[in-house]
Structure 1
């Protein structure tokens, strides 16, 4: 197994509401046979933990470490809950797993003893809950790199009194946008800060730069007079590097190079895509399942761009519209789409697109976008929601993301809430992680024993009693209710027989 389960619990803490097989260091039971643990892999080869199912039976108030890195654990990280162990946990390492969903701020805010949170190399999406994470007084090491997080770098990480005082902050290789908050200079002791490989703009604040930040990158650097300490955080706009930070190389082409390479911390090579280049990249990214249905001529290099199926150009021959509704596109919308700066309309609805909606679309001239009826996950990028006139946003002084696509967990027949339309995005309980849903398999929230148990545990805590006592009370009430129902039913049958008997006597 690539990583063992390691939990540290004080002996006096106990924690199990009921006894479980294997959860004792001296039991001798293999980890994959512990109750609540599911493993995958070859029986005779390396095995990994794929599922850990404990919230309803584990309630330790003394759990200190949860080290589950390098496994195949899927599902959401710490769903909404009120388990007692949240208040004692200090070290969480779950990097290199298959975790999805968002970071639930209210749950994280209860981890007041948390010092290390490592969730690198998963598939977490959504926003970073800066206010909740920034309120954790013991937090020193935060690793969220190599996920699918969007939105801004939250300034609240560094602005709360008695809040987090980070020494290391790894956020590279996400889809974060906006600028770097000047408030991060408040982290006096921070020595590792990585933000490369995102979609951040502007400049790295000078007050944040210094010889103590990411110092390893200057080990073999020239003399101090030639150093730019901000480059050790992220290469500036219009430049690139293998890892997105020192040593940086300027892209040739002056202002045009800055437009094509507009993010700080850009990794790899300089971008200088023509419109045809972008369309070829788009075609390659959306033919993962084979050619599109109908005419598919985008791969024909001899075909003029403006004559390609689904393309409309203006009088200057610049691409202004892409219309590929219900054409069997399978794959994802590439980030390079943002280089089509004259694009005004794109309809790729009712296809098989996956992945995430790129915020790069905000660099185009887009005013109409339809991505409904696909399998696109995550959140609508916040900066895309603020694009003036996109699907009517801003006309009434309001900017709403559901005008671009119904958020996950909601739906309507169009997949988005049209401006002036009376069909809002409505709740959907089919647990689909996709945005822009047009149909819903489950309109009502299903009964879930797990949710009920969590509600009882929370209520028990509020009343100052243990969760175990609370569960016993619940079961006792249920038992009494069942007995009463049986008694009422029995009485009904008794009186019905009496009534029938009386009727028979009267007839006689």
Structure 2
């Protein structure tokens, strides 16, 4: 699992035009020079076997080599030159474990070593780094660690040209004595734990250096001005570190830069329009997740080769420069979470014919959607949520035939019926997010004119105070996986056709006025009573990432939990016993309704539950003892009902605070500590009431026989029950929200989304 995460993050760091066609080309060309000889010397063979002996798991190499004679030149992963000397050790993805033997450094003709994507541990032998012959060394995606060794000051220039040590566990500062790497062309040290400042000697050491990748480390300090002396530098990536300060003017002297990526640091200052135009070869500029301020300079229009512009999550402001229209090669523009303002009509989007992704989420843009956007026929994803745009959607949007992701929420758009009527012609839409502050007080369209949307997987029309019923046209969305209609004023019952949405696994209709009993049709939804995930109908469901937090994003729907949220409605009757069929549910919320009867025993079958909220209803009877067997449960609330009896003992339910049970006068809990007014035994004084101490559980104080404290829950065996606490529905809802967020903070991950997704799914 860890290796998959590392590979994912490395791809984020490593993808780029130059890495794909230059650095990789260097490796391919160098490896292609290898030729196979007829035999190897005994000394060479011995060094190779010493490497094998150092492994604790060889992935079957020993058996393979024994089957292929005694000539190491024909062994798997080994190649030799015409003189019988080993030139290549290429053993990537072989399941190797153990340490890398220094014996490989004894191979005098060794040119290329590729041990990537294994489980090798220990340090990286200095004999490989300081080899007299090795030109390509790739040990990425292993478990190598420790501090990188320094080279002796007397070491002569080394021939190493490509060094990839990414996705390992290296620590400490980057070696300062590596100035002898005079021939280095590409260095990738990403996804490690290097600390200290970025070395300033890279360019003074090698005038050939073209690729420097240092992202996902713990580098501090400022960006070394000396990087501007790298006359051949094409790619600089140092994102996801702890870098501070401004971009040094000297950096812009590296005029061949094609890829400048420094996201998620603490860099600041303004973009200098005079300096930035020096980078006329720039194809990708990524400064997202920093503290840059000021405007986008007009001179950005002179970067005619620019394909990707990422300035998201900064403090930038001002209007978009009209000169942006001159960057006709733009494919991606990401400006979300800034303070940009003015009208979008300042930019003539009709000249951006290559534009595929436009993300303007959470800024202060005003006016209407510019008609010129509809000339961007290659546009795949458009997100303009969280601005101050108004008006109605233009029918011209139907000309965007490649559009799969559209997010318009949290603006001031009107006429939802017209909006859906127009959008039904966007046949490739997979994600449609249009709620929030749009369409306030309008009616949910009911008529048959709303059709189409045959590829829609995610639909959010949340937070718009829409009236009416859950409309029948939703039943035709046969590929729908996620439906979010929360925070409206929808009424009437849940329709029985809900069972026919065979792929729906995430349903949130909370905070409406839905009435009637909870229908058994919900219990027949295939994706909620199956451990299977929906088949990947279209992997582009989220062409733009959906953010739960600035550091956590989702690209596919299957990353989200299976949810049934009916909280804060007007449901009556009993919880159906058939609820036990939904054994794949992760979140179940029936809170703040008028449900009665007992908690069904069948809830105990929901072994995947992480959140169960039944608070603020009229439930009676006892809490089923088998609920303590729901071992993944991280948030639990049955407060403000009419439950009775003892709270079941056991590890799981005992971890929840008294607030999860309060408001049930007949409910009791086994309590180890006596109250402070007890006359039994000595007392050393009360646990301080209120504030921080009141948030801790009983277990936090047990084992102190002289300590006492007030208890919210009626102690089993006591003859007097405490008065029930009265709490409003809204208070209960936010209390539940906090409980979910709290559990998410401690490892549940996706659960936090249930609080914030209505913002991002707007």
Larger relative CO (CA 8 A, sep 6+): 1 or 2?
A: 1
TM-score category of the 2 structures, normalised to the smaller one: 0.3 to 0.5
Question: Which of these two proteins has the greater Rg computed from alpha carbons?
Answer: 2
Q: Please give the TM-score of this superposition, normalised by the length of structure 1.
A: 0.39
Structure with the higher fraction of residues in strand conformation: 2
